[in-house]
């Protein structure tokens, strides 16, 4: 064993140990969102702050820096080798982490826990002012974090964005969003003027919660989520937590009189879960055992939710089982009317319940607002007013409650600033990946109609999941699809689908 090999093995050992401790925090965070009694919030905040500090201490151990220097000086590995990817991403994470004082890391964790509990109550009571002090505190902490990490140019937001989409900048995001927004606005306008109005009232009939749960689990299992290595629970805001090999948790929320919310939310989170379960177990704790970026992660959830779950082929397979489970709601509804209802396009307040066409506009609104919050151009106290004004500008409707407006998402209370753009990036990535899969697998709709989801899942496992962070997101798209990131494939898919649905 030469010195470089020994140094690499020591680096991997340290990375895995840090990841293992971090996964302990993730379990407590999941429990916080699902089962923790309200009165336990402060104690949980202290627990998570302590663990965050411990993880930070391990992640910033100077010995990791020494190992990286040795490996970077002596390695002759190719740029696309698994070992080089682990070294490259370990350097990226180490450099970010060592710029942050442990005090700030612990305070961010503590405040995020308390802030999320305050958000849940404020959202429930429709009281933005109750959440405002926590938002102000979180924005101050995130600005401090951005300043400590550093950034090039004038956008402190870039330091936060890099945590979720490594290498991306706000300028790159804006360049991707502008042509997408222009095309979406035109398509929304054409749909609005089409005169076609699907009957969406059939989706608000009575759908018993237990039956929704049963149906959601059966669909998630069918597309490839392994419930022997995961579970589904309830949370105020749906999410997926991958703790490590063999343990991936999904959450959703139910409304007895709104079928799409829980069902498509569960498919979405199952898409995340399939990615987590598809990562290489032996690489846990290293870049090669981690998802490429949140944009790539979102491509998986949005693909299963929309390109598969809202397709005609999917309901060719699942509609009869749905009618049997929900006879009171669907016995008299023909499949075509149901299909048109779940693909209805119209401005709505809630992002996670938005249709495919308007969804990205929800993301662009949040992207603009959180950038302004970090830059200081927008004061937290003015967020609700700014949100409502921009919502009217984007959608032509004004939220009547805080819960339907700026309090609907958990992200800002949790300090996840820079996360939102990855949803729209994910939609673009998903369209390109789906096209590439179809070139290899043939007509995927025929497979879906027959309930055969395994070929698509295996293609994603092989081409995306098992590659970990071998490539950064933009490069991965090029390797898998042969093309750079583009809004074109997404627009083409939306136009093909909705031109037919709305007789455009």
Q: CA angle, corner 51, sides to 422 and 272, nearest 5?
A: 30
Whether 272 and 305 have beta carbons less than 8 Å apart is answered as no
Listed in sequence order, the residues at least 6 apart from 446 whose beta carbon sits closer than 8 Å to its beta carbon are 313
E strands present in 197-305: 230-234, 240-244, 247-252
Q: Are strands 240-244 and 247-252 parallel, antiparallel or unpaired?
A: antiparallel
Three-class SS of 362-389: HHHHHHHHHHHHHHCCCCHHHHHHHHHH
**Gap between the Cα atoms of 471 and 479, Å rounded:** 9
**Gap between the Cα atoms of 243 and 2, Å rounded:** 34
Listed in sequence order, the residues at least 6 apart from 336 whose beta carbon sits closer than 8 Å to its beta carbon are none
Residues in the chain: 504
- Which residues make beta-bridge pairs with 240? 250
Tokens of 445: 């709709």
Q: Tokens 């409502």 appear where?
A: 388
Three-state secondary-structure class, residue 471: coil
Tokens of 317: 């397979």
Q: Tokens 């956008």 appear where?
A: 155
| Angle between helix 488-501 and helix 170-192 axes, rounded to 10 deg | 10
Q: State which H helix or E strand residue 233 sits in.
A: strand 230-234
Listed in sequence order, the residues at least 6 apart from 448 whose beta carbon sits closer than 8 Å to its beta carbon are 308, 311, 313, 314, 316, 317, 456
Whether 229 and 248 have beta carbons less than 8 Å apart is answered as yes
Tokens of 161: 């964005």
**Gap between the Cα atoms of 276 and 292, Å rounded:** 11
**Gap between the Cα atoms of 423 and 430, Å rounded:** 10
Q: Would you call 269 a catalytic residue per the annotation?
A: yes
**Gap between the Cα atoms of 461 and 155, Å rounded:** 36
Burial class of residue 62 (count of CB atoms within 10 Å of its CB; 0-12, 13-18, 19+): exposed
Whether 240 and 220 have beta carbons less than 8 Å apart is answered as no
Catalytic residue among 107, 163, 269, 384: 269
Three-state secondary-structure class, residue 251: strand
Residues forming the active site? 269
């Amino acid at each position: 064993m030469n010195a470089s090999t020994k140094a690499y093995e020591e680096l991997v050992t340290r990375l895995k140990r840090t990841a293992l401790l971090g996964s302990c925090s993730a379990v407590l965070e999941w429990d916080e969102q699902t089962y923790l009694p309200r009165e336990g919030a402060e104690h949980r905040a202290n627990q998570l702050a302590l663990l965050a500090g411990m993880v930070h201490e391990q992640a910033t151990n100077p010995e990791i820096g020494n190992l990286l220097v040795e490996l970077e000086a002596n390695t002759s590995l190719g740029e696309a080798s698994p070992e080089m990817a682990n070294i490259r991403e370990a350097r990226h994470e180490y450099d970010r982490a060592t710029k942050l004082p442990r005090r700030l890391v612990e305070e961010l964790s503590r405040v995020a826990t308390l802030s999320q509990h305050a958000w849940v109550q404020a959202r429930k009571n429709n009281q933005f002012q109750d959440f405002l002090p926590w938002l102000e505190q979180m924005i101050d902490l995130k600005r401090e974090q951005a300043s400590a990490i550093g950034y090039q140019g004038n956008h402190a937001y870039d330091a936060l964005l890099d945590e979720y989409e490594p290498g991306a900048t706000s300028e790159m995001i804006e360049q991707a969003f502008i042509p997408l927004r222009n095309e979406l606005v035109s398509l929304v306008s054409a749909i609005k003027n089409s005169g076609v109005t699907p009957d969406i009232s059939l989706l608000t009939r009575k759908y018993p919660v237990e039956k929704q749960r049963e149906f959601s689990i059966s669909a998630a299992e069918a597309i490839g989520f392994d419930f022997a290595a995961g579970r589904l629970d309830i949370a105020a805001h749906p999410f997926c937590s991958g703790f490590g090999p063999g343990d991936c948790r999904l959450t959703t929320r139910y409304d007895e009189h709104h079928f799409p919310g829980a069902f498509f939310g569960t498919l979405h989170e199952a898409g995340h879960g399939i990615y987590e379960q598809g990562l290489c177990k032996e690489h846990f704790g290293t870049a090669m055992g981690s998802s490429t970026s949140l944009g790539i992660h979102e491509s998986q959830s949005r693909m299963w939710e929309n390109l598969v779950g809202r397709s005609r082929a999917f309901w060719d397979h699942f509609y009869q089982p749905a009618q049997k489970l929900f006879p009171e709601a669907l016995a008299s509804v023909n499949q075509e009317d149901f299909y048109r209802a779940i693909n209805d396009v119209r401005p709505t307040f809630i992002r996670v319940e938005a249709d495919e066409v308007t969804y990205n506009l929800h993301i662009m609104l949040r992207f603009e607002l959180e950038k302004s919050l970090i830059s200081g151009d927008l004061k937290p106290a003015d967020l609700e007013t700014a949100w409502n004004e921009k919502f009217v500008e984007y959608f032509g409707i004004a939220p009547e409650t805080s819960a339907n407006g700026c309090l609907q998402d958990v992200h800002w209370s949790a300090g996840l600033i820079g996360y939102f753009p990855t949803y729209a990036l994910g939609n673009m990535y998903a369209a390109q990946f789906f096209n590439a899969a179809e070139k290899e697998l043939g007509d995927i709709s025929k497979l879906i109609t027959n309930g055969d989801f395994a070929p698509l899942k295996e293609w994603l496992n092989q081409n995306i999941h098992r590659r970990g962070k071998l490539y950064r997101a933009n490069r991965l798209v090029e390797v898998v699809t042969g093309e750079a990131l583009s809004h074109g494939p997404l627009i083409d898919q939306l136009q093909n689908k909705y031109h037919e649905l709305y007789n455009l």
